[in-house]
Amino acid sequence: MFSRRSLLLSIAMISVYGCQKEVNVPSNQVTTLYGGRSAIDTVQLSNSVQVYRLSSPSFHVQLLAEYSMSAGPISIPEATAVKLRSILMDDTIYLWDVAKACGEPNYGIRFQFQRGQDNVDVLICFECDILGVYHNGQSVDYEDCDYGRAQLIAIAKELFPDDPAIQALQVTF
């Protein structure tokens, strides 16, 4: 038999833990791509998710501050942020250990995940399907994200409905 005290404690614990965001444990490869567990936590537990449109061209640089933005920040609705987190943490979207003939990524979209003072920015090049990760303004790594292309394009089109270049993006396979 439950005592009244243990019942109230159980209800309180369910209430507290039921309100937490669901956190999936990504693969070691995804954790490394993002620069470690702290960056993964920032993406998964972010209290603010925004998107920017980068000016073209936006070739890879080491410091995030060197990029020029042509639009944004635009706050991303929570339902879209949940989808985006799920896509980015899914190791099956990445082409691990594959090199492309792409000369250099030309990033078009920047997703920013913020948790307190910690920021993780994910830049996407839709020309060669490369994703670049920045943690607190510093380049961490990049990877081919071909298998996430369709989902990432759908989110980009939803967030930039009046951008002709984004709306013209096609799924290539």
As given in the structure block, the two tokens for residue 88 are 């980015």
Instruction: List per-block mean pLDDT (blocks of 10 residues) for the chain, which spans 173 residues.
Output: 43 39 70 94 95 93 94 94 95 87 87 96 94 96 93 96 94 71
Give pLDDT, residue 70.
Answer: 93
Give pLDDT, residue 5.
Answer: 47
Give pLDDT, residue 8.
Answer: 37
- Helix, strand and coil content of the chain, in percent to the nearest 5, comes to 40, 25, 35
Give pLDDT, residue 10.
Answer: 41
Torsional class of 25: left (φ above 0), alpha (ψ -120 to 50), beta (otherwise): beta
Say what the alpha-carbon torsion angle 158, 118, 86, 11 is, to the nearest 10 degrees.
-110
Give pLDDT, residue 109.
Answer: 96
Give pLDDT, residue 86.
Answer: 94
DSSP states of 133-172 as a string? Answer: EEETTEEEEEEE-GGGHHHHHHHHHHH-TT-HHHHT----
